[in-house]
Amino acid sequence: MFILHIALGGCLRAPPVTFGITADTGGHIAYVIEAALAQGGESNVSRVSIVTRLFEDVGLSPIHGTRRERLNSKVTIDRIATADRRYLEKEALAAEVVAFTDAFCRHIDGLAQKPDVIHAHFADATMVACEARRRFGIPVVYTPHALGIDKRAQGCAGEDARARIDAERHAIVEADAIIVSSRDEAERQLIAYGVDVDDRIHCLPPGVPQRSLPHGATTLADRLGEWLDVPEKPIILTIARPVMKKNLAALIRAFALVPALRERTNLVILAGQHDRPCSPEERAVLAEMRTLCTDPILRGRVALPPAHDADDVSALYARAAKGGVFVNPALHEPFGLTLIEAAAMGVPVVATRNGGPGEIIDTIGHGLIVDPRDDDAIAQACLKIVGDAVLHTRLSKAALARVGAYDWARYASASVAVYSSIGTIQPALLACDIDNTLTGCADGARAFAEWRAHSALPFVIATGRSFDAARAVLREWQLPDPDAYIVDVGTRLMIADPAGHWQICPEYDAMLDTHWDREAVARSLAPLRIEPQPVETDGPHKLSFFGTDADAVRIRETLLASGLGARVIFSHGRLIDVVAPMGGKAAAIGAYAGRRGLSLRQCVAAGDSGNDADMLEACGHAIVVANASDELAELTPRAGLHRVRSRHAAGVMEGLDLLGLTHRAAVAA
């Protein structure tokens, strides 16, 4: 098996990683690297590639400008370049996704062996992976790491909350499988997105991040006297990026609140690397912490070092194990890798009750959970542990004895099993184009209508026509009504309300706004002077033209040069549709399938022209009727692609028979 991981944000490199060197260089970097290395140890895995952005920044290591970095004989980090070679923070990275997607697909196309699975980390990477699935038929696994709905609930989502949440909903809908770290993510966080995902969620806790104690080197643990009056005291330790959701200021307030805690311990906060360009949020959080530390009662009792490395972290964990405690006071923590990292070093913990930490502490039994908004509760929990030597010893022993519950080898075996299972899903939904797929042969149309009358398989129309035009053609050909209409080349999903009235799906409509600027797209294409289709063919997420394949290429090149997100679809030898980057027939099928608790891998698509290509690539099975245009000649050959000998609707029926779906329908009848 060839596994490809993709993660766009942060400084992803071979260990040791300087965590906090940028705002996005956090725990997911450790997760991706450790997962890949563990999977590389599986006997049935031949290769693991971690794909990320190539960038060059004078403030960051030159390693990020190298194309390939080898971790061992099976595992590599492969960096893909776009025209923008700058390091980009999360907000700026969104605008680069379209260009990166194109470069990523060129990378996949050039591989002698295609990956068996793409494991995408965060929603932006999933968007890239889904386009690769559309082109190459490679299944997609999604790991969220942190979800916007929970961040918004804690007041930490930022200005792009809606776009982020829409992108995450799209990723949840589109993914063939979803791997999360905690039950809280599986049972509460994902459910908040309103997508039925029970059959696709796999809760696989990660393992303990690998750390070793430094030998001979001087570390922060040896230099605490630079900040502390009595550096020999046990320490309260926390390690987190200086962002609002990590709630670091609350720990300083808690420490100041209880005299007995200040007398017994010192507070040590590793909050990223301060000597680098920081985001406004990071600057504000660091400024607040520094202001709090000027309180006379805290002078000489709080260490807030401006920089640290992997050896410093290991040494401070070892120091905290000697009578101290590790604290995670985050407003919300999806999992909490630092808590199992602390456990591996024998450090008792105090952690937020919001998110995954409660599950970790239940499993290991090495600490207490608290309300992160209650400063006194944080202080009292710390005092309870550091003030009771018997309790501290018991928690420390529990940490060392039970941290083995979090094991990367176990994760690797389970995740590879998930990857292997994706391709064996039974078809559960049919999506058909209309023109020249269901129409064109009266006998075939009648056979399809008869099959539909006796089949319980959900059926969706996916057409370039408008809603009204699609319904009119179905009536003309006496074809059956579908369960949903995907119209306007996948830029509108029509669903029935409980009373049977057709309406636009609001969630899908909102999702199409992501990375879409219709006015800017129209302005950029105007100088090309390509003939527009009648105005009634346009829509809020689509512009349409008459032209040649060469015109479609000109449009793609213009949009790419302008950095604008859009998909360009050429079909029927003369029609060009420019649609929102999150749109298209495949995306709309995925959205409807998600409403029914299905993934695209469970869908069958049938079509004949270029505007069907994305759904024929993305769905688990594809039926290409014999009268298909040359536009579909280059579909990726794969096990699920069925090029049938019959034309029009008779070809659809031939494909359904190959899949065993007509036989099951007859038996059910």
Residue-level pLDDT at 668: 38
Mean pLDDT for the stretch of residues 463-479: 96
Residues 330 and 374 in one domain: yes
- CATH number of the CATH domain containing 275: 3.40.50.2000
Q: What is the pLDDT of residues 4-58, one digit of tens each?
A: 999 998 899 998 888 878 878 888 898 999 999 999 999 999 999 999 999 999 8
What is the domain extent for residue 108?
A: 2-203
Q: What is the DSSP letter of 26?
A: S
Q: Which of 67-81, 166-180, 269-283 has the lowest mean pLDDT?
A: 269-283
Rounded Cα–Cα distance for residues 340 and 317 (Å): 11
Identify whether 82 is part of a domain. Answer: yes
- Does 12 fall in a domain? yes
Band (pLDDT 50/70/90 cuts) for residue 667 is very low
**For residues 617-622, average pLDDT:** 89
Whether 199 and 228 map to the same domain: the answer is no
* Mean confidence (pLDDT) of the chain: 90
Residue 95: per-residue pLDDT: 83
Asked whether residue 75 is assigned to any structural domain, the reply reads: yes
Q: What is the pLDDT of residue 665?
A: 39
pLDDT 10s digits, 238-255: 999 898 989 999 999 999
Q: What's the whole-number mean pLDDT along residues 213-224?
A: 83
SS3 50: strand
Same domain, yes or no: 97 and 169: yes
As a whole number of Å, the end-to-end CA separation of the chain is: 41
With 90 as the cut, is the pLDDT of residue 280 above it? no
Q: Is residue 455 in some structural domain?
A: yes
- Same domain membership, residue 383 and residue 274: yes
Which one has a higher pLDDT value, 280 or 207? Answer: 207
pLDDT at 397: 96
Average pLDDT for 529-557: 93
**Residue 418 falls inside a structural domain:** no
Banded pLDDT at 521 (limits 50, 70, 90)? very high
Q: Per residue in 624-655, pLDDT tens?
A: 999 999 989 988 777 788 999 999 999 999 99
**With a threshold of 0.75, does the pTM exceed it?**
no
**Is 388 in the same domain as 483?**
no
Q: Among all chains, which residue has been given the structure tokens 């057709």?
A: 502
How many CB atoms within 10 Å of residue 149?
18
Domain end residue (candidates: 374, 408, 442) = 408
* Residue 401 belongs to a domain: yes
- What is the mean pLDDT of the segment spanning 148-168? 73
Residue 166 lies inside a defined structural domain of this protein: yes
Task: Please state the domain count of the chain.
Answer: 3
91-120 average pLDDT score: 89
Residues 321, 393: one domain? Answer: yes
Judge if 276 and 328 occupy the same domain: yes
| Among 155, 174, 203, residue at a domain's last position | 203
pLDDT, residue 425, reads 61
Q: In what order do the strands lie in the sheet with 429-432?
A: 502-504, 492-496, 484-487, 459-462, 429-432, 603-607, 621-624, 641-643
Please give the pLDDT value at position 563.
84
Looking at the structure, do residues 139 and 276 belong to the same domain, yes or no?
A: no
243 CB-near residues (< 8 Å, 6+ apart)? 23, 156, 281, 282, 285
Same domain assignment for residues 459 and 379:
no
141-150, 393-402, 546-555: range with lowest mean pLDDT:
141-150
Q: What is the pLDDT of residue 424?
A: 52
The pLDDT value recorded for residue 638 is 73
Residue 166 has a pLDDT of 87
Is 494 in the same domain as 590? yes
Are 74 and 166 members of one domain? yes
Residue 495 and residue 612 share a domain: yes
Residue 558 near residue 524, CB atoms below 8 Å: yes
664, pLDDT greater than 60: no
CA nearest neighbour of 1 among 414, 411, 619, 419: 419
The residues, any chain, with a CB within 8 Å of residue 621's CB and separated by 6 or more, are 427, 603, 604, 605, 640, 641, 642, 655, 659
CATH code: domain of residue 451: 3.40.50.1000
Q: Give the separation between CA 621 and CA 428, rounded to whole angstroms.
A: 10
Q: Is residue 269 part of a domain?
A: yes
pLDDT band at 160 (very low <50, low <70, confident <90, very high): low
